[in-house]
Amino acid sequence: MKQIRLPLLLVLYLLSLLGCRETASTPTTAATATPPNATSQPNATATQTALKPIAATPTLSDALPTIDAVVDATAVATTTLPDLPDPTLFDIAWDDRSPFRAGLIPSEQAILDQLPQAAVYLLDVDIDASMTAVSGTQEIHYTNQEDVPLDRLYFHLYPNLLGGAITVNDVRVNGRSAPTNLEAANSLLNISLPAPLAPGAATTIQLSFETRVPVEDERNYSIFTYQQNILALAHFYPVIAVYDATGWDTAVPAPQGDVTYADTSFYLVRVTAPGSVVVAASGIEIATDTASNSHTYAAGPMRDFYLAASADYVPVSRQVGDVTINSYAPAIYAEGATAVLDFAEAALNSYGTRFTPYPFTELDIVSTPTQALGIEYPGIIVNALRIYDLQASSGGLPNYVRLESTTAHEVGHQWFYSLVGNDQLDEPWLDESLTQYVTYLYYLDTGGPQAAASFFSAMEGNWSAADQADIPIGLPVAAYEGNEYGAIVYGRGPIVMRQLAEIMGEATFDEFLHAYVAQFKWGLATGTDFRALAEQTCACDLEDVFVTAILPR
């Protein structure tokens, strides 16, 4: 979900009161990038079930007659077009949110009726027996949530930046072949629309894709790879770009840092894998065909869809209130896989009490050969396989310590990245520095002041990797050189967050974080939003900290 501008914001508020070549379908060709080494956190048997449509969820236009007088007519163009093709991959209506209900805890299910314009992705995906090739068909229902017409759509083709490749074919808009153009080293697919898409209007995109998975590349921490018999399948499909205040955000991610900047969407994904492979994916599994090893997942509202798969995975699970925690690791790491359940449960309790309860009914934790310590995705997190051996050490620390801090950090991202989104390329501090600070709060809640102080000492050590340079934490990822990104965003970042807490008062800062999640939940926030709400909460001027340490002018 986007930050919604007036007058659409007014509509939603009132509703709350009321209850460059251009070719036809040009295949996308591969591009290969050179990998650096960095980190996201540095250093049951059933038959296939058809999804039947239920009565359509009321849309924004259903309520418009009651509020016509206060809404600019240009902002309330019909949210659907009469000739839009129905989905073909699943027997479901575009506005049917019922498959996603079971994936949300009861207190969060109302959001399904509050995101009528969120994009809907339908995917049918086949993983090759080699585990290094993926083919898929994709259908997307996209609504223009902006206040200007759109004459094109942009899709990110991340595999072409991550050492693999993706080709896209047979692109259709509302059932008809559409002109396409590849840009930015083949990492962007520009789809021309047959007519400008008016504000509030919707369109459908159909396409097929072939993705090749690398087996050696380490760019962006090997988030997309097949190594050690584990498939890590991040960003493997065409992803709609964000349209924000500056227009289409088509920035190419840096070789370090997180890759995506995304709106909240809904995903129905059927994954067919080789027979012996265990699949872990975003959302919840709603249908299984054991004969073909086909699994259907409903994931949403989420900013991304991720899966990991391995014939070596042995899952262990635990129920924590409304949430099932699943941990996936090879059998030789059973001790580490079980310890992860303890850490994740403690993190859910800590953050759920401080901010808002974790919204999904499932949290998956997978081990992969990532070069990072951990990576976050909505509803699913990744821990590095190398820290699951609890009898060993890495980076001078016992793996048990590494595994706990990494799990606590990545679970924290379920609030600061998943629930409250941001531009991770231009403002990485908003999710990473803040999540490092809430990891400090995790230790305060679970181990007391001494454990929290020990964690903070480690953050000071991280900053020392850049000689505690007075470099602002609020720069884009690409502005940091060498090890500055990890040292500043992950080391100095939480120190600056703690400085803000001391200026505002810790109780007030806690109140602010709670309000921040409540205000921007399922949407996108900026550094300007963060500062404005912080100053509003404390009734104080935070100019000095922001100008000197976060967002210099």
pLDDT digits (tens, 9 = 90+) for 480-503: 999 999 999 999 999 999 999 999
Give pTM, 2 decimals: 0.85
pLDDT of residue 218: 73
Rounded (10°) CA dihedral 170, 175, 176, 180: -50
pLDDT of residue 11: 33
User: Angle at which helices 527-538 and 506-520 pack, to 10 degrees?
Assistant: 130
- 374-377: strand order across its sheet: 313-320, 323-330, 362-368, 380-384, 374-377
Among the residues of 397-431, which ranges form H helices?
399-412
Question: Which distant-in-sequence residues (6+ apart) come within 8 Å of 158 by Cβ?
Answer: 166, 187, 224, 234, 235, 236, 239, 259, 260
Which residue is listed with tokens 């007014």?
Answer: 10
| Superfamily for domain range 428-550 | Neutral Protease Domain 2 (1.10.390.10)
Q: What residues does each domain of the chain span? A: 8-312, 428-550
Give the pair of three-digit tokens for residue 545: 């900290």
pLDDT of residue 80: 43
Question: Which distant-in-sequence residues (6+ apart) come within 8 Å of 130 by Cβ?
Answer: none
Topology given in CATH for the domain delimited by 8-312: Immunoglobulin-like (2.60.40)
Please tell me the distance from the alpha carbon of residue 119 to that of residue 300, in angstroms, as a whole number: 10
pLDDT of residue 219: 83
Please tell me the distance from the alpha carbon of residue 357 to that of residue 518, in angstroms, as a whole number: 11
Name residue 493's amino acid. Answer: G
Give the pair of three-digit tokens for residue 346: 């403690």
Name residue 184's amino acid. Answer: A
**DSSP 8-state secondary structure symbol assigned to residue 515:** H
Give the pair of three-digit tokens for residue 67: 């509020």
Give the pair of three-digit tokens for residue 53: 């449509």
Strands (E), 60-201: 119-127, 133-143, 150-156, 165-173, 176-177, 179-183, 188-197
pLDDT of residue 472: 97
Q: How would you classify the pairing of strands 265-272 and 119-127? A: parallel
pLDDT of residue 551: 85
pLDDT of residue 83: 78
pLDDT of residue 36: 31
φ, ψ (nearest 5 deg) of residue 110: -60, -25
Question: In which element (H, E) is residue 502 found?
Answer: helix 493-504
pLDDT of residue 216: 87
Within the chain, which residues score under 50 in pLDDT? Answer: 1-82
Largest CA distance in the chain: 68
Is 336 buried (19+), middle (13-18) or exposed (0-12) by CB count in 10 A?
Answer: buried
